[in-house]
Every structure is written in structure tokens, then in C-alpha cells.
Amino acid sequence: MEQMEKMALVYSNFSSPESARSVVRILMQEQVITCANIFQPHFAIYPWDNKIEEESETAVLFKAAWSKKDRLIERLRSIHPYELPGIILLDAQTLPDYAAWLDRPQDIKAKE
């Protein structure tokens, strides 16, 4: 089997697809992430202020080079709209060519 290399996957939820998309675009333009998957809204149930909340949320899986994980977590925390964002780092492995793509500087142009 081919040798795998480390990469960072960070999972977080947002209140809407628009909010998720906005944060993804900021992190991508700042070259903190290379890719993200935004998942369809789902239903979340959690305790908050001594009551059970039920909300629609949008999940995002951020993908970055392992070397950018600390910067990703710090920046995501600073721009996340939630008071207490759930930011979950997953230690993942990928093929060397994909790891190299994640770590390569991108010449990003804004979408018109």
C-alpha cells in the first residue's frame, strides 16, 4: 500500500448555507484551507441555556494541509458566527499527491 500523509479535516456547523459559504470563502481566499464540503442542512438537538434547542444547521468539512491546522482553527474560531462554535479537528491521512495539492499555494481569483 502507498505511504499516506497527514492532513487536517475540521468539522463545524453553521446556522445557514450562506453563513457556511461566507466563512469557507474567507478561509480559502486567505489560503488557510484548500477545499471544503458544505453539507445539506440537517437537524441538531443540543442543550443551551438550560433548555433543549432544536435547530436546522449546515455542516462544513474543511480540508487543509496538516501544517495549517493551528492557523485554521484559530482563524475559524475568530470569524465563526456562533458564540461557542463546535470546531472538531480530525487527524486524517491521504495520498501524497493530494497532500501536496492541499499544501500548494493557490492563485485564487474572486468569482464574478
pLDDT of 106 reads: 75
Cell of 38: 458544505
Q: Where are the domains of the chain?
A: 5-103
User: What's the pTM value of the predicted model, to 2 decimals?
Assistant: 0.90
Which of the listed CATH numbers 1.10.10.10, 3.30.70.120, 3.90.180.10, 3.10.450.50 matches domain 5-103?
3.30.70.120
Instruction: Please identify every stretch of the chain with a pLDDT value under 50, giving residue numbers as ranges.
Output: none
Report the DSSP beta bridge partners of residue 46.
53
In sign, the C-alpha dihedral spanning 108, 102, 33, 30 is: negative
69 near 89, Cβ under 8 Å?
Answer: yes
The reported pLDDT for the residue numbered 53 is 95
Residues 6+ apart with CB under 8 A from 36: 24, 27, 28, 60, 61, 62, 63
